[in-house]
Amino acid sequence: MAVAASAAISNSFTPSIRRALTSVNFFSSLSSLSSTTISFPTRQSHYPIISFQNPSFRLMVTSALNIETSDKVSPSSFLDHREIGILHFVKYQGLGNDFILVDNRDSTEPKITPEQAVRLCDRNFGIGADGVIFAMPGTNGTDYTMRIFNSDGSEPEMCGNGVRCFARFIAELENLQGKHSFTIHTGAGLIIPEIQEDGKVRVDMGEPILKASDVPTKLTANKDDAVVHSELNVDGVTWHVTCVSMGNPHCVTFGNKESKDLQVDELNLLEIGPKFEHHDVFPARTNTEFVQVYSDSHLKMRVWERGAGATLACGTGACATVVAAVLEGRAGRKCRVDLPGGPLEIEWREEDNHVYMTGPAEVVFYGSLSL
Ligand SMILES: N[C@@H](CCC[C@H](N)C(=O)O)C(=O)O
């Protein structure tokens, strides 16, 4: 079985990668090893090859770590192959929030189902990711459409770290270098990422939605139409919450009646997170951000994501956090938000009411699978 799968996969690689694999007798090693390292005479000095044997799908990945470019083989030549039954993907991460990116530009139907996404996202039995993202044809005149499945198979409207990865993925697919900007249709409307010269991606995330019924939350609005610093009882503890949608719902808290200023490292996120996510005041469930204020322009945040649990970062969550901090009078409009996976720069601009997010997005590895 392993050899058959490997043979199919081998055809998906560029000739130089195939030569390298063949030269170390890769295919016979696949049936007995779960992990091995291969020297590559191509664009990478050492290519760790990891194979997963799984009854429901077969997968091989090639790591993109330690890249030393030495010839003309480009990642897009790998992605260009289109064998029937074989799905190529690239795994990306934005501050440790990781995604399986699928080239879906030839169809408006996602190439994998939510159920398959759950299996692929599994960190023990699959590739491991917080979600699967599809790069699709544009809608209403946009360059592209982005759809995403969370690791639980649900489909959110938007993903901030994901859209930075999406922009880098498009640049790779289209073989673009340097500064580039795209218009992307998402469930949260038009999103415009711009790849900067340094490789980071700055994203116009649009306007935050504050109207309680649109977030959505059943909590009563107390500041115009918005829910700001409102009391929410979660498992006997009264938390102060501000509700913000960045296309997807967020509940932001800086503390509760017992501990007014949170020490976010002390939180038991696994216990408290799901109680917020499934609270009956959030009809579409919610993402929750627990925030500590360092200064007027520096916040620290941990997140419990709807449909994905505790992740290392959440872009829409960082945006919602700064909006909530401004509404509660805790910080200015331009902040650095520290997440477990690293910092994001966020600005809620007064001039256009848009939120701008800047941060990294990197390839982790390339892979192929037969579903
Ligand atoms: N990690 C993402 C958010 C992904 C969607 C979220 N889990 C939801 O269901 O709304 C981000 O970086 O924004």
Is residue 159 part of the annotated active site? The answer reads: yes
Please tell me the residue having the least CA distance from ligand 1 atom 4.
159
Residue in 247, 201, 245 with CA at minimum distance from that of residue 227: 245
Structure tokens at 272: 């408290």
Domain end, chosen from 187, 204, 221, is at: 204
- 236 with 269, same domain? yes
Tally of domains in the chain: 2
pLDDT digits (tens, 9 = 90+) for 137-180: 999 999 999 999 999 999 999 999 999 999 999 999 999 999 99
Catalytic residue among 251, 314, 319, 335: 314
Q: What is the DSSP string of 81-103?
A: ---TTEEEEEEEEETTEEEEEEE
Q: Report d(CA 81, CA 73) in Å as an integer.
A: 13
Residue to mutate, 93, 301, 306, ligand 1, most ligand atoms under 8 Å from C-beta: 306
Amino acid 82: pLDDT: 63
Mean pLDDT of the chain: 84
Range of the domain at 188: 86-204
Higher per-residue pLDDT: 283 or 369: 283
Higher per-residue pLDDT: 132 or 47: 132
pLDDT digits (tens, 9 = 90+) for 36-47: 333 232 333 333
Amino acid 29: pLDDT: 30
Q: Which amino acid makes up residue 323?
A: V
> Is 175 in a helix, a strand, or coil?
coil
Give the CATH number of the domain where residue 189 resides: 3.10.310.10
- Please indicate, yes or no, if residue 370 is contained in any of the structural domains: no
Please tell me the residue having the least CA distance from ligand 1 atom 2.
159
- 272 with 169, same domain? no
Identify the residue whose tokens are 């009809």.
283
- Please indicate, yes or no, if residue 9 is contained in any of the structural domains: no
Whether the link from the prior residue into 216 is cis, omega within 30° of 0, is yes
- Please indicate, yes or no, if residue 367 is contained in any of the structural domains: no
- 199 with 216, same domain? no
Percentage, residues of the chain above pLDDT 70: 78
Q: What is the mean pLDDT of residues 280-284?
A: 98
Query: Is the confidence metric ipTM above 0.90 for this complex?
Result: yes
CB 313 within 8 A of CB 161: yes
Overall size of the chain counted in residues: 371
Report the pocket of ligand 1 as residue ranges, CB < 6 Å.
97, 150, 156, 159-162, 248, 287, 305-308, 311, 314-317
Q: Report d(CA 215, CA 123) in Å as an integer.
A: 31
Amino acid 36: pLDDT: 30
Q: Report d(CA 104, CA 110) in Å as an integer.
A: 7
Confidence of residue 358 (pLDDT cuts 50, 70, 90): very high
Q: Report d(CA 136, CA 146) in Å as an integer.
A: 6
Collect all residues with Cβ–Cβ distance below 8 Å to 337 and sequence separation of at least 6: 299, 300, 301, 318, 321, 322, 343, 344, 345, 346
